[in-house]
Homo-oligomer: A and B are copies of this chain.
């Protein structure tokens, strides 16, 4: 958020804080969530590039549409394990995963 906007909001009586602070996440927890979000976005980019629906992707991953949706949304019930394994299944290499994370 731009600091100018932050100032305006605070003047108007809003308390501005990061999602992490709001949710009471520690630095590590926040970083962990960010990492999952990054992987989820990576997965969605791959899917949309291939013009697939979540359902079609689910078939390739031997999973379900709902789980794909949760992966892309970095749902709390989705592990980094699942995200990484999914990307690898789709042909990503370690370097690609690293780039998605960094």
Q: How far is the CA of A101 from the CA of B95 in the complex (A)?
A: 7
Shortest distance between the CB of A39 and any CB in chain B (Å)? 10
| Surface stretch bound by B, among A50-58, A65-73, A81-89 | A81-89
B-contacting residues, A84-102, CB 8 Å: 84-85, 88-89, 93-95, 97-99, 101-102
**Chain A interface main SS type:** helix
Could you show 18 A-B contacts with beta carbons less than 8 Å apart? A28-B89, A31-B93, A32-B84, A32-B85, A34-B94, A35-B88, A35-B94, A38-B94, A79-B80, A79-B81, A80-B81, A94-B101, A94-B102, A97-B101, A98-B98, A98-B99, A98-B101, A99-B102
